[in-house]
Amino acid sequence: MSFNHIVIQNILRDKWTYISYFLSSVFSILVFFLFLITAFHPMMDAINPDSTLGMTMMFCSFIVYIFSFIFIIYSMLAFLKKKTKSLGIFMISGASMKQVQKMVFRENILIAAAAIVTALIAGLIISPLFLMVVKNILQADSFGMYIPVKAIMMTFILFSVLFLIVSRFTTRFIKKEEAVQLLKADVTQEKLILPTPWRLLLSILMTAILLLLFKMGSSIIESLGSLYYILVFISLLSTIYFVLTQGMLFAIRRLQKSSSYYKKTNLLFVSNLQAKGNSHVHIIYLLSILLLAVFVCTSVLYSSYYNVEESTEAVYPYSFQYISLPDNPVEKEQEDIEYIETTLKQTVGDYEAYQSAFKTDEERRIGFMSNANFNALGSHQPITLNENEYYVVAGNKATTPSTDAIQDYLDGDMQYVGLEEEMILSTSLREVYYVIPNEMYETMNYPEYSVFAFELEDWTERLDVAEKIESQVTTEPGERLVTSKISLYDTESFIKSITFFIGFILSLIFLSAAMSILYFYLQTSLAGEKEKYAGIRKIGLSIKEISSVVSKELAILIFVPFTFAAVLLFIVLISLRNMIAPAFYQMTAIGVGIFFLLFILSFFIIRKAYLKKLVE
């Protein structure tokens, strides 16, 4: 019998362990491959690689690959942990450590090759359907199938290197003493959770200090730079870990002191929870982190997709805005306005037109608008000013303007009567606008800009009109400034759609990783649990009672991480309530609710399958 034959027979003998590792590897590769198919699609050539969106796509590819790297390492270590006992048989039979490592390395390479080929074939089969979904998400005119040579080559090379490194690295974790001892021992006892209150308090204190520095905007953050955010990340992870471990220990002790401890199957449940508390809390910790990542992706990236129209109108209040500067020839101004009006009449029919003006201090980027010119614009309620009153209007979105800088331009005192935070013209055109009485406006000796604004009904559906007008009337520095919320909406929709797609991919990866980790944990502990419950059944415990104990354990493993991650998410949202729109909370609640329903369904499916294997 050759060495390769032994490798193949070993795989076939324990095929379910290998299949679970194989499938998790296939999924990781498949997700990365589908993402590359989208990233390298010819339609994506319009994205500048040096732009924010292009860099985001590259960063997401890097995140997906690194996460695949970490997840495959975890899967392989979980796979080796389950194989440790069977590897002990080879060692007792006389195989050297080098031969065992060589066998495991070849098994991994064989599985890796099969996983890469399977993932690529599966990716090519489902890619037309996947690209169809991507087309709908991106609202693209065409996003058809193509031959993804670059995606195939990059996936094959990157994952071949990854599996080669991981296979060579992880075989070093095989220890002869551990394998032989596990083979000889009938029962292995894992370490119990130890009380570490000082570590918990220290981690909470450190996290609180770091977050307080962030809220105060301390100069320490600027001096530390990226190191500060690394410290925050590590501190948060350690705090979550100690909260979970000490919370588990506290819950076990409370249950032991409970009056119902000796009733029904509670004694068995609590004893089992105490014996496996350390491994349980590690899984709960990993699942909590992954689910928190899923919720963050859902909240931040998904919700932005549904807020494009409002955010566009907040910065560009008109379908078309034409600002004529003092150096713009009058003939050219009239020609441009006539062309816009003629085009709108021919293509749209009904539309609203507004004409106004403002004077500006170019050096300080401060605008002055008469009461009449302010009321002539249609994006706000009209106002009436007395001769000694002024009104302030924001010039930049999300920036509170100065309300008293106007005093530098006046001889007498003026009374401030109110603030308009919504944009009346395109954002960033001026830092602030001061609305003043008509007579005072006429006396100001500053250049005057003429404003022509047009508003259409169903403007989100008028991209063809915007393209036609902008093909002839464009911004000319020093002469005119032309903006359109229709074009901005189209651009923002595409960017948000890409963001939505990235969020979908990341959520899918994190959620699948969480489910895979739970599956590996249950698989690796199945043999020992099956033997334990078989012994318990001999002393009279019924299948119904075993089902009750197992159901409680599975509920803890599934719903505690979900609840903990959801609580953490809402704590963050509450702390940022002044910076978050109501739509953000709605999307977050909907997303968490959908995931909760999926987790309930998953609980019943996992419970049924696990119990069937446990008592068969």
**HEC states along 470-505?**
HCCCCCECCCEEEECHHHHHHHHHHHHHHHHHHHHH
The most confident of 136-145, 150-159, 164-173, 299-308, by mean pLDDT: 150-159
Q: Looking at per-residue confidence, does 254 or 144 come out higher?
A: 254
d(CA 577, CA 400): 18
pLDDT of residue 273: 83
pLDDT value for 509: 77
Residue 132 reports pLDDT greater than 60: yes
- Confidence label for 170 from pLDDT (cuts 50, 70 and 90): low
Confidence of residue 182 (pLDDT cuts 50, 70, 90): very low
At residue 144, does pLDDT exceed 80? no
Q: Confidence class of residue 82 from pLDDT cuts 50, 70 and 90?
A: low
Query: Which has the minimum average pLDDT: 213-222, 354-363, 394-403, 445-454?
Result: 213-222
pLDDT digits (tens, 9 = 90+) for 104-124: 777 778 888 888 999 899 988
pLDDT tier at 16, thresholds 50, 70, 90: low
pLDDT number for residue 457:
85
Q: Which residue has the higher pLDDT, 123 or 93?
A: 123
Mean pLDDT of 211-223: 70
Question: Which of 7, 14, 1 lies closest to 113, judged by CA?
Answer: 7
Two tokens at 159?
């994952």
Residue in 316, 304, 303 with CA at minimum distance from that of residue 489: 316
Q: Which of 91-100, 457-466, 583-592 has the highest mean pLDDT?
A: 457-466
Position 472 scores a pLDDT of 86
**Backbone phi and psi for residue 480, each to the nearest 5 degrees, phi listed first:** -150, 155
As a whole number, mean pLDDT of residues 157-165 equals: 85
pLDDT at 253 exceeding the cut of 80:
yes
Percent of the chain with pLDDT over 90: 9
CA distance linking residue 349 with residue 153, whole number of Å = 53
Stretch 489-509: mean pLDDT: 78
The pLDDT, as a whole number, for residue 387 is 84
Distance, CA of 526 to CA of 536 (rounded, Å) = 15
Can you tell me the mean pLDDT for 325-336? 89
Q: Which residue has the tokens 């292995």?
A: 188
Do 566 and 295 touch, CB atoms closer than 8 A? yes
Q: Is the pLDDT of residue 47 over 70?
A: no
What integer best gives the mean pLDDT of the chain?
A: 80
Two structure tokens written together for 455: 């508003």
Asked if 86 and 9 touch (Cβ cutoff 8 Å), the reply is no
> Which band of pLDDT confidence, cut at 50, 70 and 90, is reported for residue 69?
confident
DSSP percent split of the chain into helix, strand, coil, nearest 5 = 70, 10, 20
Q: Which residue has the higher pLDDT, 32 or 21?
A: 32
Which pLDDT band, with edges at 50, 70 and 90, does 391 fall under? Answer: very high
